[in-house]
Amino acid sequence: MALTLYTNPQSRGRIARWMLEEVGEPYEARILDFGAEMRTPEYLAINPMAKVPTLVHDGRVVTEVGAILGYLAEAFPAAELMPEDRAGFWRWMFFVAGPLEYAVTNHSMGFEAADVQQEGRLGYGSFGRVIETLKGELSVAGLPLRRWILGRGPLSGVAYRLRPPDRHDPGGARVPGLLGPAQEPSGGAQGAGG
């Protein structure tokens, strides 16, 4: 069972790599530089968007970090990463990949909707509404979202994405104070003992 993750340490591939560590199966991480390496004919045949992460599992290609997380949770049931509440899982997976991702990215670049009309045209409304929604869900200890993000599960990589930047990763959009610090997956080009 071959698992290969095409990634870059300064990308959302870090979340996919975290999930691969949770799965516990051997995988190969192929680190690509932004730019020319992601635009070779060989890589474009795998991902024509010329971006990472991209997961190849036994010849099947999965792109987009949310899709990779969901795919891995379903493809490796022994890892027990797919919760029984599938509706809640998919709701929050798409919330993170959609409204949260775009709100944090736009906010980090200084873009805020000027009025209610602009908010209505955005898929997330406003940065403040997205963050308050997430904070509200995380404040209730029994909610599945809290367990999935702060515990072991498909959304655990979200905690990593939202933590404050450090000297190894000075870039990227972060939401300081939303979640506590998280651990980075084990280093090296091979994961899970492989």
C-alpha separations of 5 from 92, 139, 188, 190 in Å: 23, 34, 13, 10
How far out from the chain centre does Cα 125 lie?
21
pLDDT in tens, 117-165: 999 999 899 999 998 888 787 766 555 555 555 445 555 445 444 433 3
**Tokens coding 161:** 């994405």
pLDDT in tens, 92-124: 888 888 898 899 889 989 999 999 999 999 989
pLDDT in tens, 31-90: 999 999 999 999 999 999 999 999 999 999 999 998 998 899 899 999 888 877 788 788
- CATH placement of domain 3-80: 3.40.30.10
Looking at the predicted structure, is the pLDDT value of residue 166 above 70?
no
Helix (H, G, I), strand (E, B) or coil at 126: coil
**Domain residue extents for the chain:** 3-80, 86-162
C-alpha separations of 131 from 125, 127, 138, 177, 180 in Å: 11, 6, 10, 11, 15
State the amino acid at position 110 in one-letter form.
Answer: G
Looking at the predicted structure, is the pLDDT value of residue 3 above 90?
yes
Looking at every residue in the chain, the average pLDDT score rounds to 78
State how far the Cα of 123 lies from the Cα of 191, in Å rounded to an integer.
35
